[in-house]
Amino acid sequence: MTKRSSTLGRTPATAAAACVALVLLAGCGAAGSGGAPGAAQSAPTGASGGAAVAAPGGADPTGAATWTHYGADAGGTRFSPAAQITPANVRRLRIAWRYSTGELQRRGKDLITNSSTQVVPILAEGHLVFCTPFNRVIALDPATGRERWVYDPEVDTSHPLPYQYNCRGLAQWRDPQAAPDAACATRLYMGTADSRVIALDARTGRTCADFGENGQVRVVRDRPDRFPGESKIASAPVIAGGVVAVGSFVMDNLRTDAPPGTVYAYDLRTGEQRWRFDPIPQDPADPAFATWGNGSALRTGAANVWSTMVADEARGIIYAPVGSAAPDFWGGERPGDNLYSSSLVALDAATGRPTWHFQSVRHDIWDYDVSSPPMLVDLVRDGRPLPAVVQNTKQGFVFVFDRTNGTPLFPIEDRPVPQNALPGEWLAPTQPFPVKPEPLVPTTLTPDDAWGFTFWDRRACRKKIEALRSEGIFTPPTTAPGTILVPGTAGGANWGGPAYDPARRLMIVNVNRVPQVVILVPRAQIPGIEGINLEAGNDVAAATGTPYGVRREWLLSPWGAPCVAPPWGELVAVSLDDGSIRWRVPLGSIEKQLPIRFEWNLGTPNVGGPVVTAGGLVFIGATMDGFLRAFDVETGEMLWRHEMPAGTQTTPMTYEAGGRQFVVMATGNHLWFGSPPGDEVIAFALPES
CA 358 to CA 390: how far, in whole Å? 12
- Asked if residue 397 has pLDDT above 70, the reply is yes
Q: Is 578 a catalytic residue?
A: no
14 pLDDT more than 60: no
pLDDT at res. 689: 72
Q: Is 420 exposed, middle or buried (0-12, 13-18, 19+ CB in 10 A)?
A: exposed
Q: In the predicted model, is pLDDT for residue 576 greater than 90?
A: yes
> How far is the C-alpha of 70 from the C-alpha of 78, rounded, in Å?
8
> How does residue 21 score in pLDDT terms, banded at 50, 70 and 90?
very low
Residue-range domain boundaries for the chain:
12-155+166-685
More confident residue, 447 or 54: 447
pLDDT at site 331: 98
Most confident by average pLDDT, 104-113, 224-233, 315-324:
315-324
Residue 515 pLDDT more than 60?
Answer: yes
- Residue 211 above 80 pLDDT? yes
Is the pLDDT confidence value at 209 over 50?
A: yes
Residue 141 predicted with pLDDT over 50:
yes
Q: Which of 369, 440, 379 is nearest to 408 (CA)?
A: 379
Of 367, 457, 539, 679, the catalytic one is: 367
Write down the pTM of the prediction: 0.91
Is residue 465's pLDDT more than 90?
Answer: yes
Question: Under a CB-based contact definition with an 8 Å cutoff, are residues 387 and 406 in contact?
Answer: no
pLDDT at site 65: 52
- What pLDDT does 559 receive? 86
Correct CATH for 12-155+166-685 of 2.140.10.10, 3.30.590.20, 1.10.150.530, 3.30.70.1520: 2.140.10.10
- pLDDT tens track for 339-386: 999 999 999 999 999 999 999 999 999 999 999 999 999 999 988 999
Helices (DSSP H) in 50-134: which residue ranges? 103-107, 109-113
What is the per-residue pLDDT for 298? 97
Region 189-218: mean pLDDT is 97
| Of 25-29, 124-128, 348-352, 502-506, minimum mean pLDDT range | 25-29
pLDDT confidence of residue 44: 34
3-state secondary structure of 67: coil
**pLDDT higher for 411 or 28?**
411
Mean pLDDT to the nearest integer, 466-488: 97
**Residue range 535-558: average pLDDT?**
85
Q: Which tens digits make up the pLDDT trace of 620-634?
A: 999 999 999 999 999
Indicate the pLDDT class of residue 532, thresholds 50, 70 and 90.
low
- Closest among 368, 376, 467 to 417, alpha carbons compared: 368
- Whether pLDDT at 28 is above 50: no
The letter for the amino acid at 641 is: R
H-run or E-run covering 459? helix 455-467
For the cut 80, the answer to whether the pLDDT of residue 159 exceeds it is no
Strand partners of residue 668: 647
Residue type, 276: R
Cα dihedral across residues 260, 239, 392, 513: positive or negative: negative
Determine the 3-state secondary structure of 390 from DSSP.
strand
Count Cα atoms within 13 angstroms, Cβ side, for 354. 22
List, for residues 556-570, the tens digit of each pLDDT value. Answer: 999 889 999 999 999
How many CB atoms neighbour CB 469 within 10 A? 17
Q: Mean pLDDT across the stretch 268-297? A: 97
Q: Report d(CA 588, CA 586) in Å as an integer.
A: 6
